[in-house]
Structure 1
Amino acid sequence: MADDQQKEQPKFDESQLFQRLQELKERIQEANYQYYGLDQPKLTDAEYDALMQELLALEKAHPEWKTSDSPSQRVGGYIAKEFPKIRHAEPLLSLDNAFNAGDLQEFDRRVRMVAPQAEYVVELKIDGLTVALTYEDGVLVRGATRGDGEVGEEITANARTISTIPLRLRKPLSRLDVRGEGYMPKSSFAQLNQEREEAGLSTFANPRNAAAGSLRQQDSKITAQRRLSYFAYQVLTPEGTELASQTEVLSFLQEQGFIVNPEFKIFSTIEDVIGYCEEMAEKRHTFIYDIDGLVIKVNDMAQQRELGFTAKSPRWAIAYKFPAEQVETVVESIEIRVGRTGVLTPTANLTPVLVAGSTVSRATLHNIDNIRDKDIRIGDHVLLQKAGDVIPEVVRSLPEKRTGMELVFEMPEYCPYCHSPVIREEGEAAHRCTSISCPAQQREAIIHFVSRDAMNIDGLGPAVIVQLLEAKLIQDASDLYTLKFEDLVELERMGKKSAENLLKAIEESKGRGLAQLLFALGIRHVGAKAGKILSQQFRSMEALEQAKLEELQSIPDIGPTMAQSILRFFQQDSSQRFLAKLLEARVIMTAEESSHPQIFAGKSIVVTGSLEHYDRQGIESLIEAYGGKAASSVSKKTAFVVAGEKAGSKLAKAKELGVPVLSEEEFTKLLEKENGKAVESND
């Protein structure tokens, strides 16, 4: 199109851009509340990402507009040399504990002496870490730990990384202090421990310890990666508010954008409270977070004031603590599992026992330090629980029940699978097998290589991989590309059709491209995201292999540890032999995944709305195959927008900026015209 035919792009003055920035901040904050607080997201992930990218772009262009209440500040990156001491506006008192019905009845008797008509609000006691938040003129200005109740530590940068903590109140007040609980959901805890174990690091004992350790990280970016959450439950300085009850406090906090635990109940008698405590003790394992009891509070604020405080705790509240759910069992043996990174993990085989709703017969012992600290021996009677109600954990041994026949466990000097020397590197809790040809590592490495985000070889599950290894048809993942039909049909439960399908899937995997291949290689610390970043930066395996340390470290999200790991991988003879076999098998090792004409080279294209013949991933892959970039937000630099049914804000933005808009049919015809033939869609 000639220049004089192009539509002139509208220009925006700074006041309009600043207004747009404020709108983005509000929409993202509301989206966070809908997603985390109500579990009712109204934006798709792509729409949310588009808003965030637009906000980041505006803040990059106008750094003077970046404020502490911006959602962009949740990614972390602030390095704290120390945590300054902070004196709380009001003392954060602890609660007296009740351990049985008699303790609760005694609490009720004391309350009724002052407030005969009192009713109780009962809330779940989240097992996390107290975090006090201070807002001034509606903006979060400080986060602090409880400390001794009078003085805590400032952790503001870390608090800002938690998505469920609002950075700005919905209805600003001159001053508001809020108390709540920072916690780690069970899923985040399990994932974090798995990642740490694979990296040879010590694991956390439970979600509470993990949350506490995460909130006190000096690098807030690490805190952001830990996926913490927050429930608010108390207003400490309710300036400008008239809150007559605890239930009004909870409603007020919700109105201001905080997440309040929805499981609270109101009761008029202590007998009903006791019944609810017993009910929750049975249901405690069904929640996605750890609870260690319930908190019972007098609902009426006037009655709270009348009851008052002791020196250490309020007289109007008490914490009912669940009895610890630990069971006794016996360590029958300890075996070693070797992961794909060579880490040796000792695992206890236990006499099967029911704990937290399921039968447990195995529990990881993590490393030799853990075994020694808890003095766990083969044959020991031990106490078992589920850390985070998820992961079986041996709490401690019961030495008083020993017979003298128990055996002290030692880590092997040689790998039980390949007999190579085992080492323990300085600063690591883990022992590692030194051989990259270890069959146990190879099995785990092959399972990783064929997984969905790696080479995505359908039909090649762990059981088939074990069969191939036992039949000596493969030694490592590169041998998959030498398999023949006659090899496969001889395997148990592998018919002709299954063999044909598997060979087809293996052949198709050759074209996955550089990004997925880099992830599949299992280079230590290189995940799927890093694989994409390296692929975009270097475009070929050969170019990456020649990269220097400084060049790698200069790439965003590729830190020193990952850079060193990448260099070590390419320096190993075994890695070179592996890559040579892939090259011989014609596995694609470049980022150019398609022979399509690069008609979109250098162009940014946005897809929005519901499409009839493409799914979102399919059309974005097609755009990239033709050389374009599938962008998530519309800007002046967008080449065009592909709009389907129910296209919303992105379509409006494109029209506002004068960006060309194509229908799905027009997009397909454009490809057909340029390619000279119909383009297959994935309908």
Structure 2
Amino acid sequence: MRLAKQIAKHNRLYHAEDSPEVSDAEYDALVRRNAELEAVFPHLVRPDSPSGLVGHDVAASPLRKVAHEVRMMSLDNSFTDEEVAEFVARVRRFLALPDDAEVAMTAEDKIDGLSCSLRYENGRLVRAATRGDGQVGEDVTANVAHIADIPQVLESREHHPPTPSSLEEGVGGGGPTSTPPEVFEIRGEVYMAKADFLALNAAQESKGDKIFANPRNAAAGSLRQKDATVTASRPLRFLAHGWGAASEVPATTQFEMMQKIARWGVPVSPLLVRCTSTENLLAHYRSIGQQRADLLYDIDGVVYKVDRLDWQERLGFVAKAPRWGMAHKFPAERAETTLEAIDIQVGRTGKLTPVGRLKPVLVGGVTVTNVTLHNRDEIGRLGVRIGDRIVIQRAGDVIPQIVENLTRDEPREPYHFPDHCPECQSEAVAEEGEVDVRCTAGLICPAQRVERLKHFVSRAALDIEGLGEKTIVEFYQLGWLESPADIFRLRKRRSDIVGREGWKDKSVDNLLAAIEAKREPDAARLLFGLGIRHVGAVTARDLMKRFVTLPALREVAEAAHHESSPVRGGGPASAGGGDSPSRATPDNSNPYTGPLNHPADAPPPRSGEDAHAELLSIDGVGPVVVEALADFFHEPHNVAVWEDLLCEVSPPPYIVETRASAVAGKIVVFTGKLETMSRDEAKAQAEALGARAAGSVSAKTGLVVAGPGAGSKLKQAAALGIEVIDEAAWAEIVRNAG
């Protein structure tokens, strides 16, 4: 969730506000890390995963919204030669081509600008729009009228662009004239040349106006102006790289179509070439890399596209990108600086994360001031201390990262990682087998309390509209929120909230209504919202399907404690932290609050061994989850928070309604990449159809749904003779269910 929020934030800053805080390489690394995690843990893929999003919504834009007739997609990225070779091989496999079949592709420099779509009707420009979120952009027709590279009327003419440095065939030469189709939408990048960017910033500085961070920001800020005269005063340019909606595509290849666009008077890259082998693609990539510093504009990689348009049509698209295209990014840039301090941040689960504060350094046009140090072991591996000279780069699993300590051998005292929480001074320890050091205070730690409150109201948990992170922090600092139960007591604070900055009668009433609407929350969402370690949204649903009510789950978890490892540390018990006693006691007359009652004829409570075994019998629940549940209910302050909350809310029994279907009663396994839904959604569909979604294939498996990239599970299914279908066939089963 934290990674998804990071990516969403940087999407907003980059696409909607033109004020990025991180470099392109940093952003790419975050997206790459998200994709890697989703590949390893497909059941944790979020419905709003960044892997399925393009750009950012334009809700806050002063410009008029425009719907794209054909969605403006982004491209998947590669970073190594091996990934490029696999991309070509993947195209061959998808098209069922022989290994030695020629797969021609175009290759061109990936300009770092603002995506823009130009719609021409009968050769005349009628609309220009930014990409936005790929489906809806901003109308910038009046603005592009001031960009000299963008013709108002397409011409039928021969075109002789600069001769490219190509390996096989570059855009050039004349050729026959071509009349533009009735409707043709040209897509490309609005950019600002490096020299023009420097001149603009010098002029801005002399006037005391905003200084732009890099040419891309300058181009975006200049184009997305409500006042087109501002755009007219800025030196913007345009390069085409493709097309969208078209009444006709008068070519059979990507390369030929780009030549026609050039002949119509729209600039295309002089470095665009057609290659017929992976080796030539990579050679052109290196050639462009060598020219990068001398180019007139910023680029961040090379784009490859399958040349044959009929093959592009067959290959189609995944969630947000075409299968027939890929961006090959350049390696990260590095810089040397000084580590000035190491701060410790405490997260929702108590994890102590060290953050290095750097002497600001410019890396590829972006100023870097912070670097994550991951954990105690990483500090030891790097041997970093305050004052060390270090080398950082803007790429890797977590960005930016330290790649070298230049003063490691200098005789100075090593950095001592804290053994107490910097927020509450409770003991901080690393549990056996873990590298992360965590505060043991749980909910009484102020840092954890705020982060857990944010998690409790988040979209995947209770999803309380209007109660965002900023409001949580504000109300916490006022002393109004210390535990989840306090959220449901905010109605008593109505008169205090009204009149505060940003709060009027209507907004306060809307917030309180949203809170009241969650008085009978979904039990699985409530369980997930409590932030118990290792209990994610899917695991919470699996647990509630077995136990139906929260008290039943608590009873088993408490019994299982005797079979689990004892929890470490802890602090004084309290209801939601602080010195306040529990505000309420469980009402045993409410069947959904407090501990269970056991009448005389009820079966005896489970033994610890039985409870432990019962939890482990649930698909997807392992020893780590069992121990986390047992530890949670063993801590008095956690129990106090639990009971206090259940005096405010009454989650109904968790009963999954099922529909009659062809898979009812079967065990279904999803494997490979799902392209139309998340793994979480797929499991929910299976459950709604009366099936059980499992994570591994066995003799008991009744059906396997396989997407692209399916591996060992597909082989296991074949060996066991289990039926295998694709995602489209699964969608048909869902549609036909009663």
Give me the TM-score of the superposition, normalised by structure 1.
0.46
